[in-house]
Amino acid sequence: MRPARTHVLVAVDEEARQAGVEEVLAALRQVLDRCGLREEVQIVETGTLGISGQGVVLAVYPDGVFYGRVQPADVEEIVEVHLLKGRPVARLRLPTAAPVARPGEILGRQTRVVLRNVGVIDPENIEEYIAQGGYEALAKALFAMKPEEVIEEVRRAGLRGRGGAGFPTGVKWAAVRQAPGPEKYVICNADEGEPGTFKDRLILEGDPHRILEAMAIAGYAVGAKRGIIYVRGEYALSIRRLERAIAQAHAYGLLGENILESGFSFEIEVRPGAGAYVCGEETALIESLEGKRGWPRIRPPYPVTHGLWGKPTVVNNVETLASVPDILLRGAAWFRSLGTPTCPGTKVYTILGHVRFPGLVEVEMGTPLRVLIYELGGGTRDGRPLKAVLIGGAAGAFLTPQDLDVRLDFDSLAGRAAVLGSGAVLVMDESTCIVDMLGSILRFFRHESCGQCVPCRAGTDLLVRLWERVRRGEADEAALARMEEVVEVMRQASLCPLGQSLALPVRSALEKFRPEFLSHAQGAACPVCRREGK
């Protein structure tokens, strides 16, 4: 059989499934068969192509043409006009400026490390992962490095946790390695509950073997024989692909007993989350895994010494683990050549909101916010002036156009009283009422508070009631000052980050958009609400 002349990459992620990708695939195969093109055109079901909000997305290579919102009825036209006659279908074609992934390329300002296989390989085929160098890092660790050398390489690389806290990964691994006891665990935190955040889901859907390989490396490094992926229960496709990947890795001798005849054994299982936002906090996650209510623990002790079942435990975010294989293969110096001296490497972001090209991107740490919004996101959707950007998800901070040149890394954002958080970048133009936006955040946190500690349980409810007074025009400056006082108490006294981090959105919103809040509080409504008829 001669090699195919054309490849059609079809993004099969959760968004595409809801948009009818299975029906599009069936139509594509049927039309290719009818036209006698099945040998010339290869269909590749892959992970996300980096584009969000465009329904079923597919790409034709080597032409580099991307189509969006594809319906089964569109397939015949794509085949007959493009694949047979070589003319792209203009009405379905996506702009070339969209932040899409092109195999083998660095697109614009993107530098793909974590996402280098996403949208390129079939995530349900272990051989395609191996063909891209998959599991070579695990083999290198097992046969060419001692566990302490693996940890030292990760430490020298300067990899910091991508779940939001930014804690040095090598330090965490070393602490677990040094902790006494024969039984240790590696947990992948894939309980992605932050509104507007879906980067971990797309990594899992597009490259599940990368996470398995990284967990096995972590297990070897710290002395663990068991790993658990705690994944958000709604992530059905992620769960399915992870379980398939685990079965394939077992069949190839890359998981289980005596991996690659090295003497090292490691097992991984998938555990769906219980649906609580607070279980994204590592100790609440551990409580949930033990079959208890997902309540955060009082710390110390920390999970590195007293984690799952009281044993030393590594808890790493999906994106954090996804960087590990490349660090071992390319070396700490390579990883440090990316990003900034204190925040090396890359960061994955979800860009959404009032932006032309919402989607998934990966850039070096320290990339200016302006680049994400205007180069990769294409600027505001309708050309309206930018008003605000919420960085880091619902628990993040509001920035303004004056902050566009801030560099996106842990340290630079700290200077603006902001955080990287979950990597969500919510762009808002002048049609947005910040009062309403903050209200949705406060209601979310009240709903998701586990209720264990009084500052968070009572504080989130009080904040919502104060906000409701502002929204109804029954408040004054004192009510805004009271909101600031409440979040400060929550920051200092709450048991876990759920209550502590609410200070960021509340303070930044009230500081940077105070006139808007005062207009509402005094019953005048803000200019946005009058103009938009809200």
Regarding whether 326 and 226 lie in a shared domain, the answer is: yes
User: With bands split at pLDDT 50, 70 and 90, how would you rate the model's confidence at 97?
Assistant: low
Output b/e per residue, 389-399; b: 16+ Cβ within 10 A. bbbbbbbbbbb
Domain boundary among 429, 459, 488: 429
Whole-angstrom distance, CA of residue 142 vs CA of residue 144: 6
* Tokens matching residue 84: 């047979």
For 124-154, give one letter per residue: b (16+ CB within 10 A) or e: bbbebbeeeebbebbbbbbeebebeebbbbb
Query: What CATH number is attached to the domain comprising 179?
Result: 3.40.50.11540
- Residues with Cβ within 8 Å of 402's Cβ and at least 6 positions away in sequence, in order, are none
- Domain-embedded: residue 114: no
Residue 268 inside a domain? The answer is: yes
Torsion angles phi and psi, residue 513, rounded to 5: -135, 35
Separation between Cα atoms, residue 80 and residue 514, nearest integer Å = 57
Shared-domain flag, residues 71 and 140 = no
Residue 367 corresponds to which tokens in the numbers above? 């990339």
243 within domain boundaries: yes
Q: Is residue 223 located within the same domain as residue 185?
A: yes
Q: Does the structure show a pLDDT above 70 at 462? A: yes
The answer to whether residue 213 is domain-embedded is yes
**What's the pLDDT tens digit per position in 64-86?**
899 999 999 999 999 999 999 98
| pLDDT > 90 fraction of the chain, expressed in percent and rounded | 79
Q: What is the mean pLDDT of the chain?
A: 92
Q: Summarize pLDDT for 213-264 with one digit per residue, the tens.
A: 999 999 999 999 999 999 999 999 999 999 999 999 999 999 999 999 999 9
Question: 156 phi and psi, to 5 degrees?
Answer: -65, -30
Q: Is residue 106 part of a domain?
A: no
What is the domain extent for residue 518? 434-532
**How does residue 478 score in pLDDT terms, banded at 50, 70 and 90?**
very high
Tokens at 429, concatenated? 């133009």
Q: Residues 136, 269: one domain? A: yes
Structurally, how many domains does the chain consist of?
4
Whether residues 350 and 398 share a domain: the answer is: yes
Is residue 442 domain-resident?
A: yes
**Phi, psi (deg, nearest 5) at residue 91:** -70, -20
Together in a domain, 159 and 271: yes
CATH number reported for the structural domain that contains residue 60 in this entry: 3.40.30.10
Looking at the DSSP bridge assignments, the partners of residue 99 are: none
Distance of alpha carbon 4 from alpha carbon 39, whole angstroms:
6
- Which residue among 25, 58, 84 closes a domain? 84
The model's confidence at residue 107, banded by pLDDT at 50, 70 and 90, is very low
Instruction: Return the CATH number at 365.
Output: 3.10.20.600
The helix or strand, by DSSP H or E, that contains position 214, with its residue range, turns out to be helix 208-222
What would the pLDDT profile of 167-182 be if each residue is shown by its tens digit?
Answer: 999 999 999 999 999 9
314 & 351 share domain: no
Tell me if 450 sits within 8 A of 295, measured CB to CB.
yes
- Looking at the structure, do residues 402 and 349 belong to the same domain, yes or no? yes
Q: Where are the alpha helices (DSSP H) in 274-346?
A: 282-289, 318-322, 324-330, 332-336
Out of 412, 429, 446, pick the residue that ends a domain: 429
- Same-domain pairing of 219 and 291: yes
At residue 101's C-alpha, the angle toward residues 97 and 107, to 5°, is 60
Q: Are 145 and 213 within one domain?
A: yes
Both 383 and 516 in one domain: the answer is no
Report pLDDT digits (tens) over 9-60: 999 999 999 999 999 999 999 999 999 888 899 999 999 998 889 999 999 9
Q: Are 197 and 294 part of one and the same domain?
A: yes
Contact predicate 522/492, CB 8 Å:
no
